[in-house]
Structure 1
Amino acid sequence: GGVGAAPDSAAAAPEARRRALTGRSTDRLPTIRPWGPEAVVLAEPVGRDERVSGAVLMHVPTAAARRDVTLRWTLICGAALAAFAAAALVAAGISRWLMRPVLDLDRAVEGLTAGSLQARAGSETGPPELRRLRQHFNTMAEAVSESLARQRDFVADASHQLRNPLATLVLQLENVEPHVAPGPGRAEHVRALDEAERLAELLDGLLALARVESGAAGLRDQDVSRAVRERTTAWAPAFRGAGLELTAAEPQEGLRARALPDAAGRILDALLDNAVKFVPAGGRVEVSAGRADDGGTVVRVADDGPGVPEEQLPLLLRRFTRSPEHQNVRGSGLGLAIADEIARVSGGRLDVGGNTPHGLVVELRLPSS
């Protein structure tokens, strides 16, 4: 007999009874899980010796067993979660330990790529292989920095040392001029004086470029709006004297940038000097300044001169590079290169493009302060 049979156990009762009447006890019970079964059926044969005279059926509730199973499953799941969490924490710690020197190296490489020769990897953590890699990288960066510094020092020293004897040579040529008789000799004397003055300009440009590349001056906050107004006003007489029209739109107020000292003024001087030299008389040059989409500052100088072929535009920012039709124009070929270097060291850039329908457009982009 039995009491409170559940549907599952009631369905299993006939089979259990049949087995018990054949002399076999219940040797298999269903798996007990937290959600069931609610009861199980147990059957035992009744008789003497080999003779079976009946069977005893019991419907046993599984509530206590299910609570025990639930408790054990909870403990097992809790232990598994704790183990997984501990493993995740250990893995995260190991990952940070391994990745910290890698990220430090990445920042140092990015700094070197951007032109900061003082960038070094400083992390002391990580496995021995990464620590050795950091040491080798710093050694390489130091060697590259020293090599570039020696080159720049040589250019600066050579330019500086040559300026004095060259200035003396120019002075002597000027003093000799009254004693040169008119004729072929006077013409050769004038050409020699022009070449000496051109060489002096070249040395001044090399010295200025070396100073910019050395990065000796730190970045400072500056008023770009004011620099644009002052430089366009200062250059107006030179443009009138060259027969050019210089128009300057009132720059947007509050344009500020963090760059080398007077970077905007120095670069604008180079761009306007370039326009005076290469834009024919009767041409027009427009200067404007405003806010860039990324929050930085854009200073734009556009002219309607002959411009240069599109394939030669990337060459204009290189040192000593000039278009073939401008080879005889006075200058050192370093103006735009120096301006580009000032912009780069300041964290910005100089973009050169063609104007419509003809001419040249140069844009100076500086990061906001």
Structure 2
Amino acid sequence: MRARLMGVLAIVSFVLLAALVIPFLDSVSDTRTQTLQLTRSAALDRFAGLAGRAAADGDYSRVRAEAERHQELYAESVLITDASGHVMVSTGGTTLASPGVGAVAELAARDLPQLTLDTLRPWSSSRTLMATPVGSPQEPAGAVVLAVDARGALHDVTRSWAVICAAAVAAQLLLLLLAARAASWVIRPVGRLEDAVVELGRSGGWNQPLEASGPPELRRLARSVEVMGATVQRSIDVQRQMVADSSHQLRNPLASLRLRVDALDPGIAGLTHVQHDLERLENVLAGLLKLAAIESRITDGRAEPTTATCLVEAVLQEEIDTWQPTAGDITLELDADGGLIAAVDEHDLGQLVGVLLDNAIKYAGPGAHVVVSSTRGPDGIVIQIADDGPGIPSDELALATQRFWRGTGKSLGTGLGLAIAEQTALAISGTLELSATHPHGLTATIKLPEAT
């Protein structure tokens, strides 16, 4: 956004400066051209008067001396013809055969003077021709051609243009500096708002107040977003605290109930069902406590990358060795690239992989095959836990990480395992994605930052 705003401001400032500078440059060129034109027109008039008297007297010595003097002073050639078109005076080696001279002299002899100079610009030619007739239209007596040397005038024009353009560049840089400060003044609070809203959406946490800066409209927006964030934070905190408090309050009654049930006579009818339901209730309670702890960790801002690192292959092998005894006839296979080091804590990664292995063992079914793999992806390390069990219908994959979701099939779980896995991945700055395994089964993909 900053680049786009700076681009617009730069274009606007350039157009405004161009609208001011271009007429100024033209004015400098016109002024210097008119000055040169007036002085050389006066010189032509003087030579025409002298040539007219010389034509009447038949003596061109004086006008020749003046032409040579002009040649010495201004390095400009002078050519004078008589009424019959013969050259009477020539300085600087100029003849009627010189480029453009013959045509200009003929036009002037016909009373068509060439007294106008093209506007001088730095790239203009340094030599141009001016001509005026000698005598009167009724009694033409020849023509005077002056090869005007415009180098001095061009030097003045070029120097003036350079000064003006340098001033314009300096003004443009100053405007760009002011535009950059104005853009920063406007964009900086927008960037802070964006970061805060993104963080709120990512972790549900609102950790610090926004600094009110920038235009009044953005300050009001920042205050509104801050109120919204604080409200969302309070709502999340209240919800999480209620879950934690409820879970802790249930722990003691459940422990007491477990002791009483365990003390009952095993032969009592229905005791097995009671013990099974009690075990499920204990598992739900443990899952809620674990989920509340992970979400609190994310909200408190501890999901940022840390300096902790771990060897991915070693962690995966350890988890497979831990879960293989409980897997029964389910095969756990490791297919990990060696040397991958993740920028996460070893214990956190182990917990995450353990939850997903537990889920795969529970639901893949007898004789299933579970492959745990790790590779280096374009954005970090990719870990996959893929099984060839029944899997999850494609239309239910997006719901699988929701709390207490248990699918449409028969399930004995708490519905918290995948929710815990997703929150654990977020807590270590990673992501969790679920997809179908071909031809059947479920693949859980973990993406983690790689240590640098």
The answer to whether 1:351 aligns with 2:443 is: no
Instruction: Give the length in aligned residue pairs.
Output: 351
Q: How many angstroms apart in 1 are the aligned matches of 2:142 and 2:170?
A: 49
Report 1:251-262 matches (<5 A): 251-259=336-344, 262=347
Of 74, 86, 103, 1:11 maps to: 103
1:201 counterpart residue number = 283
Of 274, 288, 296, 2:372 maps to: 288
1:247 counterpart residue number = 332
Q: How many angstroms apart in 2 are the aligned matches of 1:187 and 1:321?
A: 32
Name the CA shift for 1:74/1:204 in 2 (closer, same or farther; >3 Å): same
The percentage of aligned residue pairs carrying the same residue is 34
Query: What is the deviation of 1:138?
Result: 2.4
2:240 counterpart residue number = 152
The answer to whether 1:309 aligns with 2:393 is: yes
Query: What is the deviation of 1:213?
Result: 0.5
- Unaligned stretches of 5+ in structure 2? 1-79, 81-89
1:267 counterpart residue number = 352
Query: What is the deviation of 1:150?
Result: 1.8
Q: Secondary structure at the match of 2:110?
A: helix
CA contact (8 A) 1:43 1:55 kept: no
Report 1:116-131 matches (<5 A): 117-118=205-206, 122=210, 125-131=213-219
| Deviation digits for residues 298-347 of structure 1 (CA, Å, limit 9, x no counterpart) | 332222322233222322222111123223x2x31111110111012222
Q: How many angstroms apart in 2 are the aligned matches of 1:273 and 1:64?
A: 92
Query: What is the deviation of 1:168?
Result: 0.8
Of 410, 426, 451, 1:326 maps to: 410
1:69 counterpart residue number = 157
Q: How many angstroms apart in 1 are the aligned matches of 2:128 and 2:390?
A: 99
Q: Secondary structure at the match of 1:208?
A: helix
Q: How many angstroms apart in 1 are the aligned matches of 2:418 and 2:229?
A: 28
Query: What is the deviation of 1:228?
Result: 1.3
Name the CA shift for 1:112/1:3 in 2 (closer, same or farther; >3 Å): farther
CA contact (8 A) 1:229 1:251 kept: no
Query: What is the deviation of 1:51?
Result: 8.5
Of 226, 231, 249, 1:143 maps to: 231
CA contact (8 A) 1:260 1:342 kept: no
Q: How many angstroms apart in 1 are the aligned matches of 2:170 and 2:277?
A: 83
Q: How many angstroms apart in 2 are the aligned matches of 1:33 and 1:303?
A: 80
Query: What is the deviation of 1:152?
Result: 0.9
Q: Secondary structure at the match of 1:249?
A: strand
Look up the equivalent residue of 1:19 and give its one-letter code: D
Name the CA shift for 1:9/1:168 in 2 (closer, same or farther; >3 Å): farther
- Unaligned stretches of 5+ in structure 1? none
| Deviation digits for residues 49-107 of structure 1 (CA, Å, limit 9, x no counterpart) | x9867466251433322222222233333333333333233223322322222222222
| Deviation digits for residues 208-248 of structure 1 (CA, Å, limit 9, x no counterpart) | 101000115565433332221111111121123xxx23232
Look up the equivalent residue of 1:99 and give its one-letter code: I
2:174 counterpart residue number = 86
Q: Secondary structure at the match of 1:358?
A: coil
Name the CA shift for 1:354/1:77 in 2 (closer, same or farther; >3 Å): closer
Query: What is the deviation of 1:3?
Result: 3.3
Q: Secondary structure at the match of 1:274?
A: helix
Report 1:23-62 matches (<5 A): 28-34=116-122, 35-36=124-125, 38-43=127-132, 54=141, 57-59=144-146, 60-62=148-150
Query: What is the deviation of 1:9?
Result: 5.0
CA contact (8 A) 1:287 1:299 kept: no
Query: What is the deviation of 1:41?
Result: 1.8
Q: Secondary structure at the match of 1:325?
A: coil
TM-score, with structure 1 as normaliser: 0.83
Task: Give the greater-gyration-radius structure (CA).
Answer: 2
Of 260, 263, 266, 1:172 maps to: 260
CA contact (8 A) 2:389 2:442 kept: yes
Look up the equivalent residue of 1:258 and give its one-letter code: A
Name the CA shift for 1:19/1:29 in 2 (closer, same or farther; >3 Å): farther
CA contact (8 A) 1:108 1:121 kept: no
Look up the equivalent residue of 2:289 and give its one-letter code: L
The answer to whether 1:363 aligns with 2:445 is: yes
Query: What is the deviation of 1:171?
Result: 1.4
TM-score, with structure 2 as normaliser: 0.69
